[in-house]
Amino acid sequence: MGRKTYTIVVKLGTSSLVDEVTREPRIANMSLIVETIAKLRRQGHRIVIVSSGAIAFGMKRMDLEKKPSKLAAIQALASIGQGRLIGLFDDLFRQLNERIAQILITRNDIMDFTQYKNARNTLSELLDMGVIPIVNENDTLSVAEIKFGDNDTLSAITAGMIHADYLFLMTDVECLYTDNPRTNPSARPILVVDKIDDLEVKTNDHGAGSQVGTGGMTTKLIAAELATNAGVTTIITLSSQPYYILDIVSHIQNSEELHLTVDQQRDLMSADIAKKTIPLHTRFLGLSRDAQIRSDKKFWLLHGLKTKGNIIIDEGCYRALTRKNRAGLLPAGIVDVNGIFHESECVSIQVIPTKQSSITEAVEVGHCRVNYSSSEIKLIKGFQSSEIESILGYADSEYIAHRDNIAFPPKV
Ligand SMILES: Nc1ncnc2c1ncn2[C@@H]1O[C@H](COP(=O)(O)OP(=O)(O)OP(=O)(O)O)[C@@H](O)[C@H]1O
């Protein structure tokens, strides 16, 4: 019987593609990445690449030493560099008879659920055609409000969107450590993570570790949480040794075939790393099928959309929203509203604990798409739905958010 094949998203950080000091493209490393991905394809896996590097390639082309601070100049560099980046990938993949496609995306492109599904369908179609999609944030047009912000997040959203099995975050450290290994030489490697919330790690990278990197380890942890919630096992490994992916995938196939528990996986990994039969890496285990987010709509509500404000609800309301036969969000359960948002926008739902509770701050519990604007909700909060019409002069819906437009992350 043939081995199981997977859908794998490989995220390449700027440090995989551009030399940190000279800012020259790392052509030898890119060739190794391309060879590795071609091998994975021959083994039957479906591969999506999420690649950074457009701005760095543009800076090199324009002989710039320093990244400009003006937004338009950065976007111009991205448009110069993106073409060169994809051109280089195409040249390399062509040598191995592999076809690629370019997908440039911003949050705006997936703001509508139909558009989100279109993006997913295009990616799936490309994979069915045996093509390797290369995804990047559309840095040429995106401004802060419509940005994913970093390609770690974009790669996790892409992985969730296409229900990938694995996400490889390739970076300039072998794995996640207990602390930043650049500043703390006694930081210890972490091999298997099954509950991200229980992790005790420091990521003192202020959002970027290397000179050319943008996200640092902080965004990788956020990405890992997002992807594992959708059932995607996320791996951090060294980008300068891309063929490590082949060893790790084969090791994962073995562990899966043996149906190992989390502890057994951890033991097997430590033993094999010690024997040097597999490289050092971190595995964040995807949630099991019954715990993970399976619904596209829910994943989109939680991770595809940017929240515009927040609605504070009480604990009783939260219980009603999360019980088995869950309700929609009614104005009566709303305690407060913050921020300015319009009807149909996505807002954060926060719960204010009861007075007896020791926690006093409201905590985010999920997202919803609202039927009313923030100024309308301010007027109707705390009232019964039957009173909406007399307060506003109209009642578009009895709910602030319909239950199909409310999503909570999985409880682990
Ligand atoms: N606990 C930690 N474990 C491992 N690395 C850490 C930790 N905390 C901070 N880091 C830093 O995170 C860096 C990796 O992130 P960085 O964003 O620089 O790379 P990248 O993902 O390759 O690039 P890009 O962000 O452009 O995609 C490492 O160089 C390291 O210094």
The domain spans of the chain are 7-284, 307-407
- The continuous run of DSSP H or E covering 245 comes out as helix 244-257
| Tokens at 30, concatenated | 């890119």
Predicted structure pTM score: 0.91
User: Which CATH entry fits the domain spanning 307-407: 3.40.50.720, 2.30.130.10, 3.40.1390.20, 3.40.50.1220?
Assistant: 2.30.130.10
Q: Whose CA is nearest to atom 7 of ligand 1?
A: 180
Residues 6+ apart with CB under 8 A from 190: 175, 176, 177, 178, 199, 201, 282
Cβ pair 350, 365 in contact under 8 A: yes
173 lines ligand 1 (CB under 6 A): yes
Q: Whose CA is nearest to atom 30 of ligand 1?
A: 209
End-to-end alpha carbon distance in the chain: 35
Distance of alpha carbon 154 from alpha carbon 355, whole angstroms:
39
Ligand 1 pocket test: pick from 59, 151, 180, 238 the residue with the most ligand atoms within 8 Å of its Cβ.
180
Longest Cα separation, the chain: 73
| Tokens at 187, concatenated | 């930081």
* Helix, strand, coil tally for the chain in percent (to 5): 40, 20, 40
Q: Which CATH superfamily is domain 7-284 in?
A: Acetylglutamate kinase-like (3.40.1160.10)
Q: What is the pLDDT along the chain (412 residues), one digit of tens a residue?
A: 678 899 999 999 888 899 888 888 999 999 999 999 999 999 999 999 999 889 999 999 999 988 898 888 988 999 999 999 999 999 999 999 999 999 999 888 888 899 999 999 999 999 999 999 999 988 777 666 667 778 999 999 999 999 999 999 999 899 999 999 989 999 999 999 998 988 888 887 654 444 444 557 989 999 999 999 999 999 999 999 999 999 999 998 888 888 888 888 889 999 999 999 999 999 999 998 888 898 999 999 999 888 999 999 999 999 999 988 888 999 999 999 999 999 999 999 999 877 655 556 788 999 999 999 999 999 999 999 999 999 999 998 999 999 999 999 987 6
Q: List 369's β-bridge partners, or say none.
A: 346
Distance of alpha carbon 117 from alpha carbon 267, whole angstroms:
40
Judge if 7-284 and 307-407 fold alike in CATH terms: no
